[in-house]
Amino acid sequence: MSRYRGPRFKKIRRLGALPGLTSKKPRSASDLRNQSRSGKRSQYRIRLEEKQKLRFHYGLTERQLLRYVRIAGKANGSTGQVLLQLLEMRLDNILFRLGMASTIPGARQLVNHGHILVNGRVVDIPSYRCKPRDIITTKDKQRSRALIQNHMDSSSNGELPKHLTLHSLQYKGVVNQIIDSKSVGLKVNELLIVEYYSRQT
């Protein structure tokens, strides 16, 4: 299944807030999912929707998400928590959480076009897994900095999570540590996602 490129509000109405997918806000409560229907949903549908939240927020294909679930399942610790850590430490998501991109698709475009440096080297792979003490900067070019500044001016990601530090005047972000569960940028039940995939195999 390919990456989603269709109407974004359609997904928000069905799944709820997806800050990584779009920076636009619903105009009214009617634009959000009708919560009163939640009691009629089957257990399968509930798990499916939690999985879809994760996929559309982080901008992953089904194959990519399944690969992350398998990696998390082989790691020490809770599979669900490790899965969220893996997704949150992706370079495209780190740029989004720093406010250097207004959405994760926007961050992916910056990376793909070679505007982003990690520890002084160009990284053009959005899925690059950031590590503690990584320093993320933009190319010292007017166009690259103008793009980042435009995103920073329009970004409304709220308070910066503790695992990141932003030096906005230098267009630089620092990864302080692996993210903890309280700082994940999406409200999602990761246990239901793990259950969804365990029942598919």
Fold for the domain defined by 90-178: 3.10.290
Reported as a pLDDT band with limits 50, 70 and 90, residue 1 is: very low
The pTM of the full predicted model, rounded to 2 decimals, is 0.84
Which pair of tokens denotes residue 6? 């269709």
Q: What is the pLDDT of residue 78?
A: 93
Q: What is the pLDDT of residue 35?
A: 46
Over its C-alpha atoms, the chain yields an Rg (Å, rounded) of 17
Please provide the DSSP assignment of 15-44 as one string: H---TTT-S---SSGGGS--GGGGGGS-HH
Collapsing DSSP to helix, strand or coil, 164 comes out as strand
**How many angstroms separate the CA atoms of 83 and 65, rounded?**
9
Q: What is the pLDDT of residue 34?
A: 47
Higher pLDDT, 40 or 68: 68
Q: What is the pLDDT of residue 47?
A: 93
Which pair of tokens denotes residue 124? 């053009």
Residue 32 has pLDDT above 60, yes or no: no
Fold for the domain defined by 8-86+182-198: Ribosomal Protein S4 Delta 41; Chain A, domain 1 (1.10.1050)
Residue 163 CA neighbour count, 13 Å, CB half: 20
DSSP code of 184? -
Arithmetic mean of pLDDT, 68-92: 95
Of the candidates 174, 201, 195, the residue with the CA atom closest to the CA atom of residue 51: 195
Distance of CA 192 to the CA centre of its chain: 18
175 bridge partner residues: 164
Handedness of CA 149, 155, 160, 163 (dihedral sign): negative
Q: Where are the domains of the chain?
A: 8-86+182-198, 90-178
Q: What is the pLDDT of residue 10?
A: 61
Least confident of 3-17, 23-37, 103-117, 159-173: 23-37
Place of tokens 């990761």: 190
Residue 3 has pLDDT above 90, yes or no: no
